[in-house]
Amino acid sequence: MTNHASDADVLITTAFLHEGDAVDTMLRDAGLRTVHTTGLTEMGDGPRRALLAGVRAIIAGTDRLEGRFLEEAPDLRIVVRTGVGYDNVDVEAATSRGVPVCVTAGSNRQAVAEHVFALMLSAARNIPDGRDLAEGRWRQRTGRELRGATLGILGLGSIGKAVAHIARAFGMRVMAYDPHFDAEYAAAHRIERGDLEDVLREADFLTLHLFLDDSTRDLLDAAAFATMKSDAVVINTSRGGVIDEDALVAAVRCGRIGAAALDVFRVEPLPVDSPLLHTPGIITTGHIAGATREARAASGRNAADNVLTVLGGGRPAHVVNPAYEKFVHA
């Protein structure tokens, strides 16, 4: 829904939040005026400036929030991204203006972790072959079990830990790499620590739970795939940019790795002519890992709570700006 107005307190660009829903009602009951819209980048300069002129808070979806947009909102006090990734927000520009950028950490943890295993089992048990039945092909390809397999986790944060917990229930051996490795948690949950090359080399299944920045962009490239087992399966529910997609397609097509199962891509929506959609051995879903009723409800509530806290003079939660304490309002 698009509802342009120049007197809104809270701009909501998250596509799964709607006028009159629980989040909208929560904010309006607190006396705030809300407006819902998507496509700020496609909006004309005049309408966009009018829309942003009085906005004090933005609840952001996947639309890009460029620095110039933030400059057009002089009263802006907080940006909350409904999710944990925030590479679509110009954090540097927000920081320069003293505006905290927050995420709804933890709200989609279980949803994403479960989707990792939906993808993992789809690859391990050849689930996409079921489409052949409608064309009269009865194939019974041999699959593989998760029990006893090694799961490599890149990024042992909140979601990575949830994935590890489920993996242990399947009887998997779990290895993880994280520059900020939580050794205490790992010891308590029988997670082995490895450097990046160790995890790549030993993983039967490799799952990525990484933010996208200069240190992670194209982390999985041709050299990384060359390190992996020839039947390894790569699963990505984090950010598309952490994988060199051309190298991945080449690795799957030539048998350098066994398969890949992806929920995120460099360009979204994924173009219909993308090789990722036309390479046997690559499974795709449309960025739905966190898209459960429960996760979306929790994310919306968390975002609204943060907005109400900050506009009420409180301190925000889950701030991602570097050195936020240096400019936080006293």
Tell me the pLDDT tens digit for each residue of 130-140. Answer: 988 988 999 89
Q: Per the structure block, which two tokens stand in for 148?
A: 């006893």
Whether residues 77 and 172 share a domain: the answer is no
Residue 2 lies in a domain: no
Residue 33 lies in a domain: yes
Annotated active-site residue 239? The verdict is: yes
Verdict on whether the full-model pTM lies above 0.75? yes
Tell me the pLDDT tens digit for each residue of 81-132. Answer: 999 889 999 999 999 999 999 999 999 999 999 999 999 999 999 999 998 8
Give the pLDDT score at 139: 86
Whether residues 138 and 100 share a domain: the answer is no
Residue 317 lies in a domain: yes
pLDDT confidence band for 315 (50 / 70 / 90): very high
Tell me the pLDDT tens digit for each residue of 161-200. Answer: 999 999 999 999 999 999 999 999 999 999 999 999 999 9
- Nearest Cα neighbor of 105 from 82, 73, 75 is 82
Residue 316 and residue 308: Cα distance in Å, rounded?
Answer: 9
Annotated active-site residue 192? The verdict is: no
Largest CA distance in the chain: 69
**Which is the catalytic residue, given 253, 268, 315, 329?**
268
Whether residues 132 and 247 share a domain: the answer is yes
Computed over every residue of the chain, the mean pLDDT equals: 95
Burial 64-78 (b: 16+ CB within 10 A, else e): ebeeebbebbeebbb
Residue 218 lies in a domain: yes
**Which is the catalytic residue, given 18, 165, 189, 287?**
287
Residue 251 and residue 317: Cα distance in Å, rounded?
Answer: 41
Residue 36 lies in a domain: yes
Average pLDDT over residues 269-276: 98
β-bridge mates for residue 15, sequence order: none
Range of the domain at 135: 109-284
Whether residues 195 and 245 share a domain: the answer is yes
Query: How many DSSP H helices and E strands does the chain contain?
Result: 11, 12
- Nearest Cα neighbor of 85 from 114, 60, 55, 54 is 60
Whether residues 124 and 270 share a domain: the answer is yes
Whether residues 101 and 141 share a domain: the answer is no
- Phi, psi for 101 (deg, rounded to 5): -110, 125
Burial of 238 (0-12, 13-18, 19+ CB in 10 A): buried
Residue 170 and residue 322: Cα distance in Å, rounded?
Answer: 38
CATH (domain of 162): 3.40.50.720
How many structural domains are present in the chain?
2
Average pLDDT over residues 7-28: 96
1 pLDDT more than 70? no
Query: Residue type for 249, please?
Result: V
- Phi, psi for 282 (deg, rounded to 5): -115, 120
Annotated active-site residue 165? The verdict is: no
Task: Say if CB 300 and CB 70 are below 8 A apart.
Answer: no
Q: CA end-to-end span of the chain, whole Å?
A: 37
Residue 19 lies in a domain: yes
Residue 5 lies in a domain: no
Whether residues 247 and 135 share a domain: the answer is yes
- With residue 153 as reference, give the H or E element that holds it: strand 150-154
Cα 225–Cα 131–Cα 272 angle in degrees, nearest 5:
60
**Which is the catalytic residue, given 48, 239, 256, 266?**
239
